[in-house]
Chains A and B, each alone.
Chain A
């Protein structure tokens, strides 16, 4: 067997091993016991951390809240992002396409912290939006330091990832298919429903999976826009390290959240295959 191709892979293997080592270390730690008063851990291997996390009401409510919020965020991102991606893929107005793309790229390139504070200025209790409502003589609304604020911030963060992923898929659908459908008597809406949407399902699922993964791991926006009231997985892990100082327990919590996230993504993937089949059946 020639050795050369494997030699060329060495740098990649080295880099990958470094990342993998971090994961292995934290998996190992999750089966150990904390030495009180230190950051050190010791054996023997135990499932105690896992059973403690599973029994803890905080971990359970966090898991549910994280899945619920990430699902909501993904749904909202898809509802807002699909039309934007469609405009980018199909609009004949170059100005419109450029405006949408510019808006997304600005979001994409500006830092998370900057954006979180920008949202606070707009959504805060005395923010721009509420000042406007007051000026109009309307009651103020609470949009920051709660779930609403976090959802707005994260959806805004996810939007470019979703739109650019879906855009590639939409561009692969030949325009002549849409014209063909209209020629056969389908209105614009029915062309979308019977042709564009079913053909975009694989791209839609990819974009939604990416968004869902991003939402599950959200940390910055829940931290800054949640006002301590929004408990998503990353934030709870972070707070637990600071308060309990129990690394093995936190490692077990992180590992369980990871498994949960992977399971959710796998479910989304299997959904794609099932939907595609269902649609093929429905359009017979």
Chain B
């Protein structure tokens, strides 16, 4: 991405949401959501459809009126303002470009609505088109553009008004897989260079991990866990978050002796020494979140392993994914680097052990 001149750089704003709730009839779309996004950060709302992430974003933009709670940007209350007086810029899922206007007119629309004079507007439009690398499309109509180009126009149109916060609703959902990753990285660079506080709604965990400073995993109208992407990936708090972040095995375990910040846990004959990340919470029901790559496959009878056999095998590129069944009936998914070799044979005897430092205790 090209260097930015001072003109479009936005000061980042702090977003604060407190106790936000919205019901539709008897159904709670969001209940008691509280979160703070520091200036210039990118936060992703991650969750399955119907988890309330879109309702939360639309509340910030002003298209949903919450029943309770507070939304503030740099301490200024937003909820009292109609959508057009909030300094938010939303990128709609289908881009929502005005079909009867040229690209330049689309990008200039927000400036016109804010009463910016033409002499000032034109360089700002040109700057936004240059930042999103679509200067050559200025005179086209949206109907003549590809999906990727339309998205750039929508982004230019959103950025040109210098919003306090950028809201992106499933921004990459309509793009080809190959284009998606490239655009994600480009968007992240642009967002960082502009320093604009950004909120992204997505159901794609990989997208959330790629883009974010903060990830908020939502479930049934609540924030289940919020934190930096690496923390969410490595140390999920609940079984829901673990599953949503792609953890293959959720194993109910018995809690054993505690040793400082570690605890011995067991599921049947399988045992592991795992690190406790939180002191509270994981007492009553305990589930061990085990990624497939934390299940180690060894030779049968090797000390410290549990006897098992290969129940299913499939190829995942450079690694192989197995389903192993221990002799006391525990099913686990395990992945292993193929090292250029072939897959292990179905039914062959192996020994398995859990790499405790890569496992994580979660609540149910």
Contact = CB atoms under 8 A, between A and B. Distances in A.
Interface in B74-98: 82-85, 88-90, 92-94, 96, 98
> Counting chain A CB atoms within 10 Å of each CB, which of B84, B93, B102 scores highest?
B84
Interface stretch (B4-12, B34-42, B107-115, B337-345): B107-115
Contact of A284 (B62, B105, B114): B105
Contact of B84 (A177, A185, A279): A185
A199 B62 CA distance: 24
A179 to B, nearest CB: 6
B99 interface: yes
A177 B105 contact: no
Contacts, number: 70
A51 interface: no
A177 B98 contact: yes
Contacts of A284: 101-102, 104-105
Contacts of B100: 198-199, 276, 279-280, 283
A280 to B, nearest CB: 6
Contacts of B82: 182, 187
Given A174-B96, A177-B96, A190-B113, A183 B90 contact: yes
Interface of A: 174, 176-177, 179-187, 190, 194-195, 198-199, 276, 279-280, 283-284
A183 B83 contact: yes
B161 A184 contact: yes
Contact of A176 (B92, B109, B113): B92
Nearest to B169: A176
B211 interface: no
B166 to A, nearest CB: 11
A268 B36 CA distance: 56
Contacts of B110: 184-185
A199 B84 contact: no
Given A199-B99, A283-B101, A283-B105, A180 B84 contact: no
Given A183-B61, A184-B161, A284-B104, A195 B83 contact: no
Given A176-B96, A284-B105, 8 more contacts: A174-B96, A181-B109, A183-B90, A184-B109, A184-B110, A195-B98, A283-B100, A284-B104
Contacts of B98: 177, 180-181, 195, 283
Nearest to B108: A284
Interface string B42-76: 00000000000000000001110000000000000
Contacts of A190: 113
B88 A183 contact: yes
Interface of B: 61-63, 82-85, 88-90, 92-94, 96, 98-102, 104-105, 109-110, 113-114, 157, 161
25 contacts: A177-B96, A179-B61, A179-B90, A179-B92, A180-B90, A182-B62, A182-B63, A182-B82, A183-B62, A183-B89, A184-B84, A184-B89, A184-B109, A184-B113, A185-B84, A185-B85, A185-B110, A186-B84, A187-B82, A190-B113, A280-B102, A283-B101, A283-B105, A284-B101, A284-B104
B94 A176 contact: yes
Nearest to A276: B100
Nearest to B89: A183
Contact of B114 (A179, A185, A194, A280): A185
A110 to B, nearest CB: 37
A127 B143 CA distance: 56
Contacts of A194: 109
Contacts of A199: 99-100
Contacts of A184: 84, 89, 109-110, 113, 157, 161
Contacts of A280: 100-102
A273 to B, nearest CB: 13
A182 B84 contact: yes
A184 B157 CA distance: 8
Contact of B161 (A180, A181, A185): A185
Contacts of B88: 183
A117 to B, nearest CB: 46
Contacts of A180: 90, 92, 96, 98
Nearest to A180: B96
Nearest to A198: B100
Nearest to B114: A185
Nearest to A179: B63
A283 B101 CA distance: 6
B204 to A, nearest CB: 21
